[in-house]
Amino acid sequence: MRLSRIVTRNLRRRPLATVLTSFSVALGVALFSTVGAVRRASEEGFQRSAAICDLVVGPKGSSLELVLNSLYHMGQSQGNIPFSVLQSLNERPGVEWTIPSAVGDSYRGYRVVGVTDELFSRAGLSVQNGESFSFSTEDLIRERTEGHHDGHEVTPAVIGSLVAKDLSLGAEFFPSHNLREEGGAEEHHDSPTKVIGELAATGTPMDRAIFIPLSDFYAIDGHKPTKESSAGGTRDPLGLSSIFLRTKPGFHHIRIWRDLNDRLDTQAARPADQVRKLFEIIGGVDRALRLVAALVMAVALIGVLVAIYNTMGARKKEFAILRALGAGRQTVLAMVVAESAGLAAFGGLMGLFFAGAGTWAASGYLQTQTGVLVSAIPGLSELQLLLGVIIVGGLAGLVPALSAYRTEAAKHLASTN
């Protein structure tokens, strides 16, 4: 009889012990795998958004909050920067391109962002249904220079793929003058907005945003300038919430970054640095959860050792018969180690299944809240984890295997009837 068939038969003879022992391994594997999958997908999604530009320019305050609000549509805006900053950057050597943006409105929890059409090409956003609006940074500067900021009668909007769950192509809606999802929102009934395009999914927070031309954003009631605010400043309605900036590398990048941070009314944040800082902050929680998962797996694998070791006394006759039939000591040793590894493998596979099912069930909620798509399909790291659990499970079986290895066939056969 082949060794694999013997091992399978032995495990099936003790179904309750096999399932319970494997289940304890599965819990540790599932927790470890789920934490890793969510962390990896989140970091990849945030890094993709951070790659849009190398600097985000905004008002003085927290650099991390500026990046989160501008690129990831989280948190609150820290105010505005004067429009003159955009003009000076566009005229400065070393600047490849700029994309201005303004925030402050929402619809059912989705951020409404005023931008120019360069965002779609610079960020690699493609329209899969409908069309994009046409309004460039040059158009914005010309409007501001000429002194008029009239928007369309109906504001055109391009929505992210997740927003399409609540808004379809051609649908009209009214943005609200705050970021609440429901209730207490003051709708801009003077600014009907119509969906003219839907972006292809990116797996980033961009999927949760509604983009409109900056000229229409400024034309909304409550965003128009007043005598008190027309001179500019952090509360100027015609200021900019942020500017996405791409600079030439080397000297130009460093000089522009320093000059913007030396100003009293602006700061420049590097998105890639802020994303790393963010995941360093949450890394402690991540490591704590993984440590708990590792301890659960360690206890479970010790349980595998104990479960098999406790059967050694009752199985001495079985080993003796195998020895009498010609099985060598090495065969008996391999059989017990294989049983231990088999328990760990069954638990590991069960854990990956639990992790995949849980991730799939939670992926919709996570994507709605963060825009990040978490895949339920195991990756290379999960397969490496499974292999490691099997190897450690096999090593845990060495203690009872050595007991079986020392079994004397003649002695145990002679002591039985």
Question: Please, are residues 276 and 119 in contact by the beta-carbon 8 Å criterion?
Answer: no
pLDDT, tens digit, 9 for 90 and up, residues 115-126: 999 999 888 888
pLDDT, tens digit, 9 for 90 and up, residues 50-78: 888 999 999 998 999 999 999 888 888 88
- The pLDDT > 90 percentage for the chain reads 24
Q: Which residues of 9-24 are buried (b: 16+ CB within 10 A; e: fewer)?
A: ebbeeeeebbeebbeb
User: Judging by beta carbons within 10 Å of its beta carbon (0-12, 13-18, 19+), is residue 115 exposed, middle or buried?
Assistant: buried
Question: Please, are residues 193 and 173 in contact by the beta-carbon 8 Å criterion?
Answer: yes
pLDDT, tens digit, 9 for 90 and up, residues 222-243: 666 555 554 455 556 678 999 9
Lowest mean pLDDT among 275-284, 325-334, 376-385: 325-334
φ, ψ (nearest 5 deg) of residue 161: -65, -30
Mean pLDDT of all residues belonging to the chain: 80
Cα angle 314, 320, 322; round to 5: 110
Report the predicted TM-score, pTM, of the whole model to 2 decimal places: 0.74
CB atoms within 10 A of CB 220: 24
In this prediction, residues 21-27 reach a mean pLDDT of 85
Interatomic CA distance for residues 169 and 158, integer angstroms: 9
Interatomic CA distance for residues 115 and 101, integer angstroms: 5
For residue 402, is pLDDT > 70? Answer: no
For residue 8, is pLDDT > 70? Answer: yes
> Residue 271's pLDDT is what?
92
**What value does the CA radius of gyration of the chain take, rounded to a whole number of Å?**
31
Interatomic CA distance for residues 194 and 329, integer angstroms: 78
For residue 384, is pLDDT > 80? Answer: yes
For residue 410, is pLDDT > 50? Answer: no
**Residue with more model confidence, 404 or 299:** 299
In this prediction, residues 292-299 reach a mean pLDDT of 81
**Residue with more model confidence, 148 or 309:** 309
- The pLDDT > 70 percentage for the chain reads 79
Q: H helices within 164-207, ranges in order?
A: none
